[in-house]
């Protein structure tokens, strides 16, 4: 297998894994807040959390570009620290995480909603503080759903294209993911290369589904 | 934290009114007793009273004092959160944590002032043989024993029991009843015991509160007020 | 918890752009990806300077630059996108690097003869694919050229605007359209389409791939040197081999 193809495949998988790790804490926190709490502006938060799902990915990419570009609100804070996000693998991870987050939040939220409050109350009567209740009761009981959500987020990350290409560009060896590679090679008529990447993408997708099934059957 | 001297009989002050939807429960109980039975037909509000003591429900106004500790008082705006009430709550559906084994369930409470240790619990409830079992395969009686052990392990000021014998088969009921009496007398943990069985109430309690549709219709010694 | 913190640290470490002194970051139109990759390798071999090539649609590249991305050199597929970033261009560095030629492509297994672009008016050409004139540079030039010939209104009734030139060619290859108007360089990428007519350079639109040094980059000197090399004979030979024309 062509060295570059292998490199792209490894990079994409690693980035998708990193994106999944990155999206887990905020995703779980958001899912829990939405599942358990009522507050003013909740509808706004719900909408924001769903936005990447509903907006065209390129639009999300442009938004991210504005945000973390050196001129943007976040970017210009990071610049003096020597941190540039655009055109780096971090941008790939960021785009993947943002696009996968809504899926994780939805699935995890359903998981939390299913956990009966009564178990949490029982833990409270036994003296557990809120964080302990969350980590020893709520989270474990919702873990199946959270895992499913993480898997959804991961597969979404693997297939992410529109936002990635805007904020991370297409730089071979640095930010060229499977999807971006397929696009670039097709655009320049390198169909054989594009086809090879396609095969790898399909294989990875199969792998993800197999893992998902295995996890679903383990009790 | 006030400690109860060996001969002191624990005091309960339960004077409150709790409304949920169309249903109101009102109590006016101020008594010293080792075990209080809440007696009445289903729907009479017994469980709500238990939940109010545990802090899982909040009365609209009133006062709840258990063994000298004010848990709730609308006049002084006292409202002790659930986790600090030091109650051992055993609801009707027991609510053992399904994802933990028996040992982890029983030893869930941590950092409490006083743990009742496991050998004592074993002597009372015979739980050692169950320690490594999963919650899923336990019988009704076993679940009840584990739930009691879990509640006791946290060193509570009071045990709140909601129909503890309901899910236990007849043959084992005596065992659990004996265990409860031992808890009351040897461990000196007072009980608030919800039941619709006069026999159980008579066996365990030295004070009975009779409820009907949320109102206290009688209160006193079990042999006086129970059918 | 620990793994989460480590993960973030790794991601941030990746975010810090690697040593920028000895590298030049070039944003080049997607159609130049292949040829720029070749030239980048050659340049690095000769000078030791690493050329990192970022490719994409020219409008995307332009937006990245206006958002402050640290691009050293920009090669666009049309003037409009270079105009869009004029505020970032180091003055005096903009040059017309390359040009291209419009051609009419037909399916390789159904060759046709055309004497002029006006032949497209013939009813035997039922559908014609061109890059979307609203977004694709090749489409912009095509429309301008057809307007200049006075046949745009007629032809536009048969036009299928495509997301990219590659897509336009694909429609010809699989028979969805009878002809596509693309660049000569695009034809070089496929064997299933062939040229039916090449618009003579003096008649055709003035297609320009402008290149310029960008102010937001980290390596202005390196970009200037690279741009000079790209205009030189050695690099131009590579461009011409790929079907491009020297810019004028």
User: Do C188 and C106 share a structural domain?
Assistant: yes
Asked if the Cβ–Cβ distance from B97 to A119 is below 8 Å, we say yes
pLDDT at B5 over 80: no
- Residues of A whose CB is below 8 A from C67: 65-66, 69-72, 75, 86
Any domain includes C234: yes
Tell me how close the Cα of B141 comes to any Cα of chain A, in angstroms.
19
Instruction: For residues C212 and C149, state if they share a domain.
Output: no
Q: Which subunits sit against A, judged by 3+ Cβ pairs under 8 A?
A: B, C
C4 falls within a domain: no
Interface contact flag, C12 A90, Cβ < 8 Å: yes
- In a shared domain, residues C92 and C38: yes
A193, two tokens: 């290369």
CB contact under 8 A, B97 and A125: no
Per-residue pLDDT reduced to its tens digit, A106-156:
999 999 998 779 999 999 999 999 999 999 999 999 998 999 899 999 999
Domain count, chain C: 2
How close B225 gets to chain A, by Cα (Å)? 31
- Mean pLDDT for B39-46 is 88
Give the nearest chain B residue to A127 (CA atoms).
Answer: B83
Tell whether B84 is within 8 A of chain A (Cβ): yes
Residues 6+ apart with CB under 8 A from C44: C50, C51
Residue C14 lies in a domain: no
ipTM summary value: 0.91
Q: Say if C154 falls within a structural domain.
A: yes
For chain B, what are the domain ranges? 11-221
Domains, chain A, ordered by start: 3-177 (1.10.3720.10)
Phi, psi of A39, rounded to the nearest 5 degrees: -155, 165
A127 shares contact with chain C (CB less than 8 Å): no
Distance between CA atoms of residues A172 and C52, nearest Å = 8
Instruction: Answer yes or no: do B108 and A136 touch at CB < 8 A.
Output: yes
Q: Which residues neighbour B186 within 8 Å (Cβ) at sequence distance 6 or greater?
A: B124
Tell me the per-residue pLDDT of C179-215, one tens digit each, with 9 for 90 and over. 999 999 888 888 889 999 999 988 888 899 999 999 9
Judge: B86–A129 Cβ closer than 8 Å, yes or no.
Answer: no
Q: How confident is the model at residue B1 (pLDDT cuts 50, 70, 90)?
A: very low
Contact A187 C16 (CB under 8 A): no
This prediction has a pTM of 0.81
Looking at the structure, do residues C115 and C185 belong to the same domain, yes or no?
yes
- B11-221 under CATH 3.40.50.300, yes or no: yes
Residues C95, C106 within the same domain: no
Instruction: Please give, rounded to a whole number of angstroms, the shortest distance from the CA of C98 to a CA of chain A.
Output: 17
Is C189's CB within 8 Å of A190's CB?
yes
Q: Could you tell me if A132 and A123 are in contact, meaning their C-beta atoms sit under 8 angstroms apart? A: yes
State whether residue A76 is helix, strand or coil.
helix
- Pairing state of beta strands C95-99 and C209-213? antiparallel
CATH number at residue C93: 3.40.190.10
Whether residue B85 lies within 8 A of chain A, CB to CB, comes out as yes
Instruction: List chain A residues with CB under 8 Å of B110.
Output: 127-128, 132
Q: Kindly give the confidence (pLDDT) of every residue in chain C, 248 residues in length, as a single tens digit, with 9 standing for 90 and above.
A: 666 666 666 665 555 545 445 799 999 998 898 899 999 999 999 999 999 999 998 989 999 999 989 999 999 998 989 999 999 999 999 999 999 999 999 999 888 888 888 999 999 999 999 999 988 889 999 999 999 999 999 999 999 999 888 889 989 988 889 999 999 988 888 888 999 999 998 888 889 999 999 999 999 999 999 999 999 999 999 999 998 999 87
Q: Mean pLDDT throughout B89-110?
A: 93
The whole-chain average pLDDT of chain A stands at 90
**Of A3-7, A47-51, C122-126, C225-229, highest mean pLDDT:** C225-229
* Dist CA B213 CA B42 (whole Å): 9
B16/B59 Cα distance (integer angstroms): 6
Residue range of the domain that includes C121: 102-198
Selection from C26, C18, C76, C17 nearest residue C225 by Cα: C26
| Residue C137 domain flag | yes
C8 domain-assigned? no
Please report residues of A whose CB lies closer than 8 A to that of C69. Answer: 65, 69-70, 86-87, 169
Partner A contacted by B82 (CB < 8 A):
yes
Together in a domain, C84 and C106: no
C61, C117: one domain: no
Within-domain flag for C15: no
- The reply to whether C178 falls in a domain is yes
- Contacting residues of A for C11, CB less than 8 Å apart: 18, 22, 89-90, 93
Interchain pair A140, B150: CB under 8 A: no
d(CA B72, CA B49): 13
């Amino acid at each position: 297998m062509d060295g570059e193809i292998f490199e792209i495949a490894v990079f994409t998988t690693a980035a998708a894994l990193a994106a999944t790790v990155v999206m887990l804490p905020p995703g779980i926190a958001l899912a829990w807040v939405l599942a358990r709490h009522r507050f003013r502006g909740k509808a706004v938060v719900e909408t924001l959390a769903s936005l990447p799902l509903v907006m065209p990915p390129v639009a999300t990419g442009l938004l991210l570009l504005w945000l973390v570009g050196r001129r943007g609100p976040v970017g210009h804070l990071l610049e003096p620290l020597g941190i540039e996000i655009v055109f780096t693998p971090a941008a790939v991870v960021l785009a993947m995480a943002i696009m996968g987050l809504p899926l994780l939040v939805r699935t995890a939220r359903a998981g939390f909603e299913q956990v009966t409050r009564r178990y949490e109350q029982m833990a409270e009567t036994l003296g557990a503080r809120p964080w302990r209740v969350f980590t020893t009761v709520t989270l474990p009981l919702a873990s199946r759903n959270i895992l499913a959500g993480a898997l959804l987020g991961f597969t979404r990350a693997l297939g992410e294209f529109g936002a990635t290409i805007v904020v991370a560009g297409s730089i071979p060896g640095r930010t060229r993911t499977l999807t971006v590679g397929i696009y670039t090679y097709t655009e320049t008529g390198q169909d054989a290369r594009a086809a090879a990447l396609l095969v790898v993408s399909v294989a990875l997708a199969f792998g993800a589904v197999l893992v998902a099934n295995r996890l679903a059957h383990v009790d | 934290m006030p400690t109860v001297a060996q001969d002191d009989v624990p005091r309960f002050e339960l004077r409150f009114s709790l409304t949920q939807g169309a249903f109101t429960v009102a109590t006016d109980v101020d008594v010293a007793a080792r075990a209080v039975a809440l007696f009445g037909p289903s729907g009479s509000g017994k469980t709500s009273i238990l939940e109010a003591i545990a802090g899982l429900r909040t009365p609209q106004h009133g006062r709840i004092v258990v063994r000298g500790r004010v848990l709730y008082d609308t006049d002084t705006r006292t409202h002790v959160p659930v986790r600090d009430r030091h109650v051992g709550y055993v609801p009707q559906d027991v609510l053992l944590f399904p994802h933990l084994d028996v040992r982890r369930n029983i030893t869930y409470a941590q950092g409490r002032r006083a743990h009742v240790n496991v050998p004592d619990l074993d002597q009372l409830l015979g739980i050692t043989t169950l320690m490594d079992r999963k919650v899923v395969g336990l019988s009704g009686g076993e679940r009840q024993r584990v739930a009691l052990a879990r509640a006791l392990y946290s060193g509570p000021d009071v045990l709140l029991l909601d129909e503890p014998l309901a899910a236990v088969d007849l043959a084992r009921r005596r065992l659990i009843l004996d265990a409860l009496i031992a808890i009351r007398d040897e461990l000196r943990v007072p009980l608030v015991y919800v039941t619709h069985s006069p026999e159980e109430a008579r066996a365990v309690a030295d004070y009975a509160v009779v409820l009907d549709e949320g109102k206290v219709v009688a209160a006193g010694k079990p042999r006086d007020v129970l059918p | 918890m620990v793994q989460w913190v480590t993960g973030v640290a790794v991601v941030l470490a990746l975010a810090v752009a690697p040593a920028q002194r000895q590298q030049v970051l070039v944003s080049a139109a997607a159609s130049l990806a292949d040829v720029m990759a070749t030239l980048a390798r050659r340049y690095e071999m000769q000078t030791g300077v690493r050329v990192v090539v970022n490719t994409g649609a020219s409008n995307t590249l332009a937006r990245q630059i206006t958002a402050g991305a640290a691009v050293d050199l920009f090669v666009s597929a049309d003037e409009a996108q270079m105009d869009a970033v004029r505020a970032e261009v180091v003055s005096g560095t903009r040059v017309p690097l390359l040009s291209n030629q419009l051609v009419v492509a037909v399916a390789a297994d159904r060759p046709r003869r055309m004497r002029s672009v006006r032949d497209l008016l013939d009813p035997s050409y039922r559908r014609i694919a061109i890059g979307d004139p609203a977004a694709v540079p090749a489409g912009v030039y095509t429309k301008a050229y057809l307007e200049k010939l006075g046949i745009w209104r007629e032809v536009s009734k048969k036009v299928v605007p495509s997301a990219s030139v590659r897509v336009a060619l694909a429609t010809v290859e699989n028979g969805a359209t009878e002809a596509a108007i693309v660049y000569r360089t695009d034809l070089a990428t496929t064997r299933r389409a062939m040229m039916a007519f090449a618009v003579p350079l003096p008649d055709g639109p003035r297609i320009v791939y402008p290149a310029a040094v960008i102010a937001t980059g980290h390596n202005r000197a390196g970009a200037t040197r690279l741009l000079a090399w790209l205009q030189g004979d050695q690099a131009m030979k590579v461009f011409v081999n790929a079907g491009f024309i020297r810019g004028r």
